[in-house]
Structure 1
Amino acid sequence: MTEQQIATALDELVSLVAEGKPMEAFEKFYHENLEKTDLDGITHQGKTVNEKIGLDLLSKVTAVRDFTAVGKIIKGNRSFLVWSLDFDHANNGAIKVTQVAIQDWEDGKIIRERFIA
């Protein structure tokens, strides 16, 4: 996958999220062998496991004030996508953070993703 192809894929992923379709973006752009490490530092293996985690998180979001991509860098098969997040979570209260998703691409999909804030 070229850097331009990754940039185009990221633009579509961000558009789907902006349209309120984050799980459609997940389905389209994440690899079956996904390895994902969230801000808590815990790594989860496999697309199915990560899909369940994502659905659980989304089910507990009670209000969204901001969920936008504010920057991206692509070098080789790695992308850095910066998100601005401001939302309320049923268990954790108000969450306001700028985070970076570090994504490695394989076969046209994200195979590894790590978040830092």
Structure 2
Amino acid sequence: MKNQLAENVAEINQAILAGRALEAFEKHYATNVVMQENDNEPTVGKLDNLHRQQEFFSNVTAFLGAEVKSVTLAENRSVVEWFLHYQHRQWGERKFHQVAVQQWENGQIIHEKFYYGT
């Protein structure tokens, strides 16, 4: 199971680095996924989260870099530390580290929370 988890996480990370984050979202996120940014209200359900993701990516005007800094795996949990650098239509240039904590069930993410400075 840990090998499959490692493969899934690596596939998501590679898709993000290749500019195919929405494709990875479609494949690896459960219908009832709950996603949350820091202490903001969580977004529940794949469709609402897809709309949120589409809105975000439609406002990225330049993708200036990304790097996976570390990955930690447990039985049904993964933690990925990212360095991200992009230009956003509303927020301007963003350069920061982010940690994504993902809970998995049946090969898909059912809960993901992002931690980053604001």
Identical positions, percent: 33
Tell me how far 1:92 sits from its aligned partner: 0.7
- How does the TM-score come out when normalised to structure 2? 0.93
State the TM-score, normalizing by the size of structure 1: 0.94
Secondary structure of the residue aligned to 2:50 is: helix
Q: After superposition, what is the alpha-carbon deviation per residue over 1:29-52, rounded to whole angstroms, capped at 9, x for unaligned?
A: 101000000135220000000000
Name the SS of the counterpart of 1:11 in structure 2: helix
Question: Counterparts of 2:95 and 2:39 in 1: how far apart (Å)?
Answer: 15
Could you report, residue by residue, the CA deviation over 1:62-97 in whole angstroms, capped at 9, with x for unpaired residues? 111112222100011010011110111101111111
Partner of 2:25: 26
Once the 2 structures are TM-superposed, how far is the Cα of residue 20 of structure 1 from its aligned partner?
A: 1.3
SS across alignment from 2:64: strand
Identify unmatched segments of 5+ residues in structure 1: none
Match of 2:55 in 1: 56
Is 1:3–2:15 an aligned residue pair? Answer: no
Where does structure 1 differ by over 6 angstroms across 4 or more consecutive aligned residues?
A: none
- Structure 2 unaligned regions, length at least 5: none
Counterpart of 1:47? 46
The letter of the residue matching 1:106 is E
Give distance in 1, aligned partners of 2:39 and 2:90: 15
How many residue pairs match? The answer is: 116
Q: CA, structure 1 residues 35+77, in 2 after alignment: closer, same or farther (shift >3 Å)?
A: same
SS at match of 1:86: strand
Amino acid at match of 2:20: K
